[in-house]
Chains A and B, each alone.
Chain A
């Protein structure tokens, strides 16, 4: 199984901050990586797929990069609506998720 490891587990930030979350795969997954946002009591929402393709309707302050085993999600200027938990997911071989990164208010 391909394991996905995110860092950090928790991130404290302020509105307007630039935020970066890292995701590492246990083996190469090319660019078959997605990022999701989840708020308490809600279903995950797709933000980015194929490592860097922004899903329709997602604000352009979200961006993704990387290939192979190392990937990043960047929020260029954190907004109040962005405080949530973020998950990476590989879909090169079946589907596995990272453990999540909680972005909380500093």
Chain B
């Protein structure tokens, strides 16, 4: 059974840092590009970042570029999101999601359960 379990969510002060982890099981993480997506009440679902299967290619949303870093350890079947200089507007549930794969543009075929990040002023 495919599972993605996100962890590391917490309450943090403005300007602080946090690292989220996403542990994959039931499939080989090394075969898939992966994403982070966040959800809050105001903005809804917002894509945050994507990383290629080998970690060599990363892309970020404008709102987090320069502050967030996505990485992966395929040997540990784990995806990470390092979040620095956090802002109140980064408060959200963060999901890791697996890329559907295939030729051309692709979407997300499986999502983890989400980790809550709360940034307090």
A interface residues, Cβ below 8 angstroms from B: 32, 34, 42-46, 49, 55, 87, 89, 91-92, 94-100
Contact = CB atoms under 8 A, between A and B. Distances in A.
Which of B46, B59, B107, B110 counts the most A-chain CB atoms under 10 A from its CB? Answer: B107
15 contacts: A32-B104, A32-B105, A43-B112, A43-B113, A46-B110, A49-B100, A49-B107, A49-B109, A87-B45, A94-B47, A95-B35, A95-B107, A96-B47, A97-B45, A99-B44
Nearest to B62: A1
A71 to B, nearest CB: 14
B106 A91 contact: yes
B50 to A, nearest CB: 8
Nearest to A29: B105
Nearest to B59: A94
A97 B107 contact: no
Interface residues of B, number: 21
A66 to B, nearest CB: 15
Which of B104, B105, B109, B114 counts the most A-chain CB atoms under 10 A from its CB? Answer: B105
Contacts of A46: 100, 107-110
A73 to B, nearest CB: 14
Contact of A43 (B100, B104, B107, B111): B111
Contacts of B46: 97
A77 to B, nearest CB: 25
Nearest to B93: A43
Contacts of B108: 34, 44, 46, 95
A91 B46 CA distance: 12
Given A95-B47, A99-B44, A100-B44, A34 B107 contact: yes
B94 to A, nearest CB: 11
A46 B1 CA distance: 16
